[in-house]
Amino acid sequence: MYKALEKKIKNRTAVVGVIGMGYVGLPLAVELGREDFKVIGIDINPDKVNLINSGKSDIDDVKDKDLKPLVKGGKIRATTDFAVLKKVDIVTICVPTPLSKTKDPDVSYILAGVQEVQKYLHPGQLVILESTTYPGTTEELILPILEETGLKVGKDFFLAFSPERVDPGNKKYTTQNTPRVVGGTTPQCTRIAKFFYEQTITQAVEVSSTKGAEMVKLLENTFRSVNIGLVNEVALMCDRLKIDVWEIIDAANTKPFGFMPFYPGPGLGGHCIPIDPHYLSWKLKSLNYYARFIQLAGDINSRMPEYVVERINRALNEKKKSPKGAKILVLGVAYKKDIKDVRESPALDVIKLLQNAGAQVKYNDPHVPSIRMDNSLLKSVKLTRKLIQSSDCVAVLTDHSSYDYNFIVRNAQLVMDTRNATKNVKHNREKIVKL
């Protein structure tokens, strides 16, 4: 089984099924298609399937000009029908892994995908989970379901975990040149999964188990969450000390060793950093261990939207204006600059808190034409001189590159800058309030 699959991978006759065609699955499918693999993308959303089959992408990191030739050439097609797994040699599961309201892992999407794989599992097939999850998921949840078929892992089929490392909008590090960590259920599972990724990705790094590979991803994002929590707390300290936190960080960063810069902001956003540490914390609770660093960082980071609103209210009060009824213009609602992804964006929390305080909130984001706030739909307004001048406060929550910050500050009455986006603005700096 191993030699036969290895040969198929090597000569590009292996058919790859990608379950979940979102921010992880679609870029992976494109890289595989570029390397001459035939890819079948599976998604439960028919609109997404139709969009992909027309050669169009709804993902920041996949351009239509890259996807369309692959679709037209028969290298990539999408479907809602899981029955295609009968003809697939390699299955990668790239589905969402959100948290419940109680911050517990929601692995329902993984289980739904695995149950579909189980129906069509056949000898010689390689199954890889890429969705971020807690250590033990592959061995404790996925393996038993697949072995219910009577097939044995490492002998009849292969099972591995390889965490996605997508950073939306990153121009330097993409799916292709970001190293892969791979851990299999058996040594043969590890080897064949690593061999598969080596066909399309610069480097594949082997670890001893699926649990180890699952832990690697959680360490990476917990590291970032904890350090962002630290620098956010430093920002709170600097506010009380009346010191510019951005100046402090820049000065500390001149030390050539022993310091790595992290930057404060209005809160954490995206599909990984606000969520992944909670997966690890949840797992450790089941082992009677309290992950104190993770919990503390989570508390600090989750409070940052409230702090931003407090700073806006304080700045308005200093100008003898009430937060209630104030006209607030929010610039940027994506969770990071120059992308359209609003998942877990702290800007949404800031807007909601401002609205709850009685403020009249409008937003502009060149990448996000509309956002849903509870039961209402907000649409991005055109950024004009008149709009800026008529706003009591302009809050920069996402520092998109397309914004002319000199123009914004020159025309604004007050600017709340949560991203140090106005650092190069030389005039009218008295209007700027920084995080």
Cα distance between residue 330 and residue 349, in whole Å: 12
Determine the Cα–Cα distance for residues 183 and 188; give it in Å rounded to an integer: 10
Total-model pTM: 0.92
* Shared domain check, 99 and 241: no
Q: Is residue 310 part of a domain?
A: yes
233 in the same domain as 164: no
Mark whether 122 and 40 lie in a shared domain. Answer: yes
215 lies in some domain: no
The SS3 of residue 415 is strand
Task: Tell me: do 276 and 371 sit in the same domain.
Answer: yes
- Predicted confidence at residue 276, as pLDDT, reads 85
- Is residue 52 in a domain? yes
Same domain, 94 and 170: yes
Are 128 and 154 in the same domain?
A: yes
β-bridge pairing 370-373 and 360-364: unpaired
* Whether 275 and 353 share a structural domain: yes
- The pLDDT score that the predictor gives to residue 404 is 98
> What sign results for the dihedral spanned by CA atoms 391, 394, 398, 401?
positive
Indicate the residue among 160, 176, 208 that finishes a domain.
208
End-of-domain residue from the set 208, 241, 276: 208
How much is the pLDDT for 103? 75
Strand 415-417 relative to strand 432-434, pairing: parallel
Residue 216 lies in a domain: no
Tokens 């993984």: give the residue.
110
Other CB atoms within 10 A of residue 114 CB = 25
Report the percentage of the chain scoring pLDDT > 70: 100
**Total of domains in the chain:** 2
**Distances from the Cα of 320 to the Cα of 109, 309, 312, angstroms:** 51, 16, 12
Pick the last residue of a domain from 208, 236, 266. 208
Whether residues 117 and 234 share a domain: the answer is no
Residues in the chain with pLDDT values less than 70: none
For residues 172 and 303, state if they share a domain: no
- Whether the CB-CB separation of 89 and 5 falls below 8 Å is answered with yes
Same domain membership, residue 425 and residue 276:
yes
CATH code at position 270: 3.40.50.720
Q: What is the pLDDT of residue 28?
A: 96
Q: Is residue 214 part of a domain?
A: no
Q: Residues with catalytic annotation?
A: 272
Domain contains 124:
yes
Report the alpha-carbon distance of residue 396 to residue 303 in Å, rounded.
18
Domain that holds residue 249: 224-434
- The rounded distance, in Å, linking the Cα atoms of 156 and 152 is 5
Tell me, yes or no, whether 66 and 158 share the same domain. yes
Same domain, 321 and 424: yes
pLDDT at 105: 85
- The answer to the question of residue 218 being in a domain is no
